[in-house]
Amino acid sequence: MERYNPTKIEEKWQKIWETEQAFRAEENGAEKMYLAEMFPYPSGAGLHVGHVRNFSIVDVLTRFYAQNGKNVLRPFGYDTFGLPAENYAIKTGISPAEATKTNINNFRKQAKRLGFYIDWNREINTSDPEYYRWTQWCFLQLFKKGLAYQKESYQWWCPNDQTVLANEQVENGHCWRCGTEVEKKKMKQWFFKITAYADELLEEIDQLDWPEKIKTMQKNWIGRSEGANVKFKVKDQEDTIDIFTTRLDTICGATFLVLAPEHPKIPDLITKDTEEEVKNYCAAAIKKSEIERQENKEKTGVFTGSFAINPVTKEEIPIWVSDYVLINYGDGAVMAVPGHDERDFAFASKYQLEIKTVVKPVELNNQSEAHDGDALQFFHDRGILLNSGKYNNLTSKEAESQILSDLGEAVANKKVTYRMRDWLISRQRYWGCPIPIAYDKDGQPHAIPEDQLPVVLPEVSDYRPDKTGRSALAKAEDWLKVTIDGEEMIRETDTLDGYACSSWYLWRYASPHSTSTAWDQDAVKYWEPLDIYCGADHAVAHLLYIRFWCKFFADQGYLPFREPVKKLLYNGYINAPDGKKMSKSKGNVIDPLDVIDSGYGADTLRTYELFIGPYNEDAAWSTTAIGGVYRFLNRCFNLAINQQNNRLHSGTPTQLIRHKTIKKVTEDIANTNFNTA
Ligand code: ANZ
């Protein structure tokens, strides 16, 4: 009897699929189904078993919908700009473009050996000038509408290598390459104004067919906070300091102000006596990461030497600096209410600052003394006011609106703050999409005219950023000069973060060869939005950015929908047999091609990865279980061969089993259970 020989079967069919272009998608009158995985970064290590799980899930769904008569589109592409290729180039001198080409060829070969249903005619590569020309076009649309803008911001800086470092290149506060302690350096950076869409991004989350976990993460990331902005006058100065509070009701308990160490007004507040200490404190704090600063540890801070006037109590309150206040949130300064805020309480206790109780729980309303001196039992909720003069006995809510109107618009205003920041998009790096901007003599930015796109990355011999912190592009002297409207200008040497390239690729897939537009209107109308997206990463960054761009381009009339992804599947990771993360250094990586070539074949590998556990949970690789899957496929094969030989007719028990099986598989796939598939 014929034996199950996956090598022979797979080779035969993969060849047929290739010559017949069996998975080519074309627009027709049928109902469409568009599916994609998050496209991979083609690293030198090749595809790994984690990719295989992700791609296999999409593959099952694609084949399932195709067999159900839908007109399916399942494209593939590569997210190729980024630091690994540049670091590799710095080490080896091999150009990132060269290395990327080699890696893509390898990825494609591997994906084909895995037998995926992919329309290879739609392959895209974000570092191809024909692609990034349109990434540049997208940037210019945002720039024209004021949603791409420049602002000073702190960057990691290695004083030894004289170079800007990405977050990933800072290891425990030291440079990844030379080990020198890193510093922060203020530099002008490009930002996308994602906050302009904060409300809409938040409001439309609930209607998405996405995992609740991801939706919650996005909500928390956006972090909408309603409160008030209050101006505190600085004693003996004309100047005021703005603070953001969500608890205006507690203002009579505000016994000091705290500014972030980066706050621009600090130099005007320090005195001869405090100058040195404050400057040292700020310099040290700026070096710490935000995560470090928000950790629950002992609070530190310094007194500036100046006082502010509490606008309600008219009391003089000291102005301090501490790193628990973040510059990028609210106004970068807080009114500290140690009677009701834990962080302020810890700070006040340490530096012996006044602690006042000004709110008590509603149920304590009739008790004259809410606060028994045991400050640890303090109350953080809203309630009834006390120790607050004319506002005593009002509810927090009543007090807030009363205080707001008493202070008047010149002093206090309602304000909404978002935890989400604008998206820092520029990188002082060579291997990225060049930002299509040039500067005139006065340093003003100008858009490169659209008919001059793409701004192509020039070849350079040294990929390292230069000593001033600019990318290696600064060394391409001829490339730097450009004439716009008869004026000589100098090109931007920053490139775009890779997240910009992946913010619109799902629309490019609809018309990947278009040379006249980023995406063809009719094509996006037919294929988009994406019906199913599958990935195991990027819960907030990428998955928020595509939503933001979608809304923006919908507003500009380029997209006929406002949400890019209908259904999201978030799959788990595949770990090593010991449950640990697979990594080259631990030597526990499973290479998919090794599994295939050992005789198991691609179908066994794919089936095994679908069978390994619920798709959305992490799973550990098992070398024994994969053998079981192989034996199972072997039995399926024999069953099929027997069936063919016996030519069983309808109405037999086998036919019944077949129908039952189809029903079960159909229901399982509808419920995203892939193990029976
Ligand atoms: C006084 C107060 C009293 C506050 C109280 C809280 C409780 P969410 O809800 O996260 O938005 N805050 C404001 N700006 C800050 C900054 N840049 N860095 C650190 N903390 C900051 O938090 C808003 C509260 O966080 C604000 O309200 C402010 O403290 C603090 F019983 O003002 B609150």
Q: Which pTM does this prediction carry?
A: 0.88
CB-ligand 1 contact for 551 (6 Å cutoff)? no
How far is 165 from 176, CA to CA, in rounded Å? 9
3-state secondary structure of 595: helix
Q: Is the pLDDT of residue 375 over 80?
A: no
| Cα–Cα dist 295/290, whole Å | 9
> What one-letter code names the amino acid at 664?
K
User: Looking at the DSSP assignment, which residues form a beta bridge with residue 47?
Assistant: none
The residue to mutate among 341, 345, 359, 415, having the most atoms of ligand 1 within 8 angstroms of its beta carbon, is 341
Per-residue pLDDT of 643-658, as tens digits, reads 777 765 555 667 888 8
- Domain membership of residue 550 (yes or no) is no
Q: Are residues 114 and 194 in the same domain?
A: no
Q: Give me the domain span that covers residue 101.
A: 6-127+572-639
pLDDT of amino acid 374: 44
386 contact partners, CB below 8 Å, separation of at least 6: 357, 358, 359, 360, 370, 392, 393
d(CA 145, CA 421): 18
The pLDDT of residue 649 is 53
252 phi/psi in degrees, rounded to 5 = -70, -15
Find out whether the beta carbon of 326 lies less than 6 Å from any atom of ligand 1.
yes
CA of 376 to the centre of ligand 1 (A): 19
Looking at the 3D structure of the chain, how many domains does it have?
Answer: 3
- Both 113 and 169 in one domain: the answer is no
Q: Do residues 292 and 321 share a domain?
A: yes
Least confident of 116-120, 131-135, 265-269, 608-612: 608-612
Ligand 1 and 251: CB distance under 6 A: no
| 547 or 420, which is more confident | 547
| Ligand 1 centre distance from Cα of residue 50 (Å) | 41
**Of 418, 447, 467, which marks where a domain is finished?**
418
Would the CB of 245 count as within 6 Å of ligand 1?
yes
Any atom of ligand 1 within 6 Å of the Cβ of 325:
yes
Min mean pLDDT across 127-136, 182-191, 252-261, 480-489 is at 182-191
Phi, psi of 320 (to 5 degrees): -115, 165
- Token pair for 315: 């009391």
pLDDT score recorded for residue 369 = 46
Q: Does residue 334 line the site of ligand 1, with CB under 6 A?
A: yes
Q: Choose between 177 and 666: higher pLDDT.
A: 666
Nearest CA to ligand 1 atom 5: 341
What percent of the chain stands above pLDDT 70? 96
pLDDT in tens, 435-459: 999 999 999 999 999 999 999 999 9
- Check residue 186 and give its pLDDT: 86
User: Is residue 520 in a domain?
Assistant: no
Dist. CA 337–CA 596, nearest whole Å: 64
- How remote is the CA of residue 36 from the centroid of ligand 1, in Å? 41
pLDDT tens sequence across 490-527: 999 999 999 999 999 999 999 999 999 999 999 999 99
Mean pLDDT, residues 523-536 taken together: 97
Among 558, 471, 557, 544, smallest CA distance to 502 is for 544
* Pair (192, 269) in one structural domain: no
**What is the band of 373 on the pLDDT scale with cuts at 50, 70, 90?**
very low
In the chain, count H helices and then E strands: 21, 30
Same domain, 376 and 397: yes
At residue 466, the pLDDT reads 81
Ligand 1 pocket check for 337: Cβ under 6 Å: yes
Listing DSSP states for 224-238 in one string gives: EEEEEEEEEEETTSS
* Centre of ligand 1 from the C-alpha of residue 391, in Å: 21
**Cα separation of 510 and 669, whole Å?**
25
Among 617, 530, 612, which Cα is nearest to 568's? 530
Give the CATH number for residue 411.
Answer: 3.90.740.10
Determine which residue's CA is closest to atom 28 belonging to ligand 1.
245
Mean pLDDT of the chain: 92
Residues 66 and 162 reside in one and the same domain: no
Provide the residue count of the chain. Answer: 677
235 plus 375 within the same structural domain: yes
Say which residue the tokens 């630091």 belong to: 83
Distance CA 438, CA 418 (A): 32
| C-alpha to C-alpha distance for 620 and 604, rounded to whole angstroms | 17
Helical residues (DSSP H) of 239-380, grouped into ranges: 266-269, 275-287, 290-294, 342-351
Residue range 669-674: mean pLDDT, rounded: 88
Q: Are residues 244 and 337 in the same domain?
A: yes
Rounded distance, CA 137 to CA 72, Å?
A: 29
- pLDDT computed for residue 564 by the predictor: 98
Last residue of a domain, one of 366, 395, 418: 418
In a domain, 470, yes or no: yes
Angstrom CA distances, 149 to 157, 365, 448, stand at 22, 51, 15
- In this structure, what CATH number is given to the domain that contains residue 439? 3.40.50.620
Check residue 49 and give its pLDDT.
92
What is the mean pLDDT of the segment spanning 60-85? Answer: 95
Mean pLDDT along residues 170-180? 83
Q: Give the span between the Cα atoms of 444 and 285, in whole angstroms.
A: 32
407-416, 417-426, 463-472: segment of lowest average pLDDT: 463-472
CA dihedral (414, 416, 417, 419) in degrees, to 10, reads 150
| Residue bearing the bigger pLDDT, 555 or 158 | 555
Q: What mean pLDDT is predicted for residues 624-648?
A: 86
> In which region does residue 172 sit, left (phi positive, over 0), alpha (psi from -120 to 50) or beta (all else)?
left
Tracing tokens 């977050």 back to the chain, one arrives at: 167
pLDDT value of residue 15: 97
pLDDT for residue 370 is more than 50: no
Most trustworthy range by pLDDT among 110-114, 421-425, 662-666: 110-114
Q: Which of 334, 385, 388, 418 to mutate to test the pocket of ligand 1 (most atoms within 8 A of CB)?
A: 334
Write the residue with the smallest CA distance to atom 32 of ligand 1: 245
Find out whether the beta carbon of 338 lies less than 6 Å from any atom of ligand 1. no
Is 244's C-beta closer than 6 angstroms to any atom of ligand 1? yes
Please tell me the number of Cα atoms within 13 Å of 84 on its side-chain side. Answer: 10
CA-nearest residue, atom 25 of ligand 1 = 245
- In this predicted structure, which of 351-360, 604-613, 636-645 has the lowest mean pLDDT? 636-645
| CATH number for 37 | 3.40.50
Q: Is residue 529 part of a domain?
A: no
Domain end among 373, 401, 418: 418
Distance (angstroms) between ligand 1 centre and the Cα of 304 equals 20
Site to substitute for ligand 1 among 220, 222, 246, 400, most atoms within 8 A of C-beta: 246
Give residue 512 CA to ligand 1 midpoint distance, Å.
Answer: 47
Q: Whose CA is nearest to atom 22 of ligand 1?
A: 246
Residue 295 has pLDDT above 80, yes or no: no
Ligand 1 proximity of 476 Cβ (cutoff 6 Å): no
Indicate if the pLDDT at residue 226 is higher than 70: yes
Q: Is 282 in the same domain as 393?
A: yes
Q: How far is the CA of 7 from the centre of ligand 1 (A)?
A: 63
Q: Residue 76 falls within a domain, yes or no?
A: yes
34 three-state secondary structure: strand
What is the three-class DSSP state of 335? strand
pLDDT exceeds 90 at position 155: no
Mean pLDDT in residue range 402-407? 98
- In the predicted structure, residue 23 carries a pLDDT above the cut 60: yes
Q: Do 309 and 375 fall within a single domain?
A: yes
Question: Do 308 and 456 belong together in one domain?
Answer: no
The answer to whether residue 434 sits within a structural domain is yes
Q: pLDDT at position 367, please?
A: 46
Tell me, what's the pLDDT at 364? Answer: 57
* pLDDT on residue 166: 72
- How does residue 677 score in pLDDT terms, banded at 50, 70 and 90? low
**Rounded mean pLDDT of 160-169?**
76
Of 276, 237, 285, nearest in space to 258 by CA: 285
User: 107 with 47: CB under 8 angstroms?
Assistant: yes
Please give the sequence-ordered ranges of beta strands (E in DSSP) within 246-301, or none if there are none.
Answer: 256-259
* 517 is a domain residue: no
Say whether both 42 and 89 belong to one domain: yes
pLDDT band at 372 (very low <50, low <70, confident <90, very high): very low
Count the alpha carbons within 13 Å of 5 in the hemisphere toward its beta carbon.
Answer: 7
Residue 224 pLDDT > 90, yes or no? yes
The response to whether residue 329 sits with its C-beta less than 6 Å from ligand 1 reads yes
* DSSP 3-state of 451: helix
Does any ligand 1 atom lie closer than 6 A to the CB of residue 322?
no
Chain segment 538-574, per-residue pLDDT in tens:
888 899 999 999 999 999 999 999 999 999 999 999 9
